[in-house]
A and B are shown apart, each in its own frame.
Chain A
């Protein structure tokens, strides 16, 4: 028995050895943001091992990047955050001629992102989506008839939000996501940096603060799926993953996602290579692999986000392509806005307001 086991290990070492010794790609991506089978098949196809870590906030990623020597080869920042990170010299140019599958990139998305990454020098889009409302239909219906699930009012109007306090309201723990939403609900520009308007948004949030159970940017996926939460400010694909998990568990919970009528922000998460990446070649190989239309479609079908890959669309589940919560139609698109990064002054103000809101002080 032992002999056999030893033999096996040797054989494995003989096959896996040279490849494993060859290359490693260190990927730092958002949580719940890939079909892990893709990582396995990437290693099988290329012989490059993947070390995969996750985060759930742009702020944490930015802290790591600005501290330097993060040790990652591929990171996935949101484009709006990327703008100032590029200025800080955090990234190296991403040469698309060395990433053949970049030819499948969706020009419209590239165009949209060029506002933050001029000429798409440093990045290529992985997925894009919206920040909106996730909810558990049954739990909402029990507490209110015709609840306005397609309006920010359900989380920002104290009288409505109060009804759902007992079944669990979760908010993303990111001021850059929630402030634009509150501003949009108040009828202001989601991009506003006017201190008075920001203060008004903060006051609004303070009024509904008692009804919020948790500020967290990834827990709401499982919380919605198992009924610990009934309402969440969350990201489109994450909510839809919760929907799939609940359906799989057959626990009688119907989860859905809505883009609020008052408008919300649309964001794009970009593949980028840090300037001090240990192995940029492995990083390009990884990005190239994910940009392969079939692989990319596999990712979309799993995580329910819209991809910046046009070539992938023929392999994507038609139901996903037709779902306006994932690929918004023209009319919904008109209601979406994109946000600019805050200047340091505004950033500080927003951060301080956010700390106050969260602590309820």
Chain B
């Protein structure tokens, strides 16, 4: 039992170390860049953080022990960091508030992501439901069919939509061929195309968790509901839906969060009017080479996403406690 404490601590330490290295450290670096100034230099901001020097890339050979050097170096970096925070060098954030283009981007992104999530839920739920109710022997095949698109690169699948949606594309040729349209529909380069792209790309992320919840559901509950006088529909509404809420929540999160920051779909399928934050970030980073502002945009995006998620989580916890 004495060793148990250590084993447990190690086990807990692993995810924390993971978070520290792959989330907190990059976050701090981005935060740090967002507090510096745009400059034409390599890298393109100033003052520069001297982190590589901490890891033995310094010119001077370390005469003393390595460990204190590294520590003092990181300490120096932290001092520098606090220096910036104390100076309140938040010019880049102020810059973001001066131009409504950023707010418009955030709002459009949230709107497109929210509407897409809803559409995906509406399309994905019947699919997942059908899969869960299908004969057991079919289910692995159906599951395979949902996963199958992942065997092709995401980028290629989005490219394929270009040739489907463009003015001389397959869809217009088909619709004109059967005489439904005289003039071709302009879809490519509009928000409609972005919705189609996102709904198509993220559908499996909704179907899979929904299927996982629905397939576990005890069918005798439905029989009981019907015995007690529910129609098939009310039984579905009062029993199946509430029981599948964890799946709905998980699926919606899996779809909504990446959809907010989506870059590929709006860039390839959307027009230049489609302001989404992923694109604004790309322009800021590659087009304008303004790393500090790009970092500030990224930090705000993180806040925009994290705050509602945390609030939601709290609400869930409370609801769970109340339910006990």
- What is A's interface to B at a CB cutoff of 8 Å? 57, 59-60, 62-63, 65-68, 84-85, 87-90, 213-215, 344, 347-348, 351-352, 354-356, 358-361
Given known A66-B289, A358-B272, contact A352–B101 (CB-CB < 8 A): yes
Q: What are the residues of chain B within 8 A of A352 when measuring CB–CB?
A: 99, 101
Q: What are the residues of chain A within 8 A of B286 when measuring CB–CB?
A: 59-60, 63
Q: Is the CB of B273 within 8 A of A87?
A: no
The smallest beta-carbon distance between A198 and chain B, in angstroms, is: 15
Q: Is the CB of B44 within 8 A of A214?
A: no
Q: Is the CB of A66 within 8 A of B42?
A: yes
In the assembled complex, the Cα of A214 lies from the Cα of B274 at a distance in Å of 12
The smallest beta-carbon distance between A81 and chain B, in angstroms, is: 10
Q: What are the residues of chain A within 8 A of B283 when measuring CB–CB?
A: 355
5 interchain residue pairs of minimum CB distance: A351-B288, A66-B44, A358-B272, A84-B40, A88-B41
- Contact code string B164-207 (vs A, CB < 8 Å = 1, else 0): 00000000000000000000000001000000000000000000
- Cross-interface CB contact of A63 among B41, B272, B273, B285, cutoff 8 Å: B285
The smallest beta-carbon distance between B34 and chain A, in angstroms, is: 15
- Cross-interface CB contact of B101 among A85, A88, A356, cutoff 8 Å: A356
Q: What are the residues of chain A within 8 A of B285 when measuring CB–CB?
A: 63
Q: What are the residues of chain B within 8 A of A88 when measuring CB–CB?
A: 40-42, 44
- How many A-B residue contacts, CB cutoff 8 Å? 69
Residues of B contacting A: mostly:
loop
Q: Which residue of B lies closest to A89 (CB)?
A: B42
10 residue pairs of the A-B complex, CB under 8 angstroms, read A65-B42, A67-B44, A87-B40, A90-B42, A214-B189, A344-B38, A347-B288, A352-B99, A359-B272, A361-B101
Q: What are the residues of chain B within 8 A of A90 when measuring CB–CB?
A: 42
Q: What are the residues of chain B within 8 A of A360 when measuring CB–CB?
A: 272-273
Q: Is the CB of A59 within 8 A of B273?
A: no
The smallest beta-carbon distance between A307 and chain B, in angstroms, is: 29
In the assembled complex, the Cα of A63 lies from the Cα of B272 at a distance in Å of 21
The smallest beta-carbon distance between A225 and chain B, in angstroms, is: 14
Q: Is the CB of A361 within 8 A of B287?
A: no
Interface residues of B in 275-324 (CB under 8 A from A): 275, 280, 283, 285-290
Given known A87-B40, A89-B41, A358-B272, contact A348–B104 (CB-CB < 8 A): no
In the assembled complex, the Cα of A301 lies from the Cα of B99 at a distance in Å of 47
Q: Is the CB of A361 within 8 A of B42?
A: no
Q: Which residue of A lies closest to B38 (CB)?
A: A344
The smallest beta-carbon distance between B38 and chain A, in angstroms, is: 6
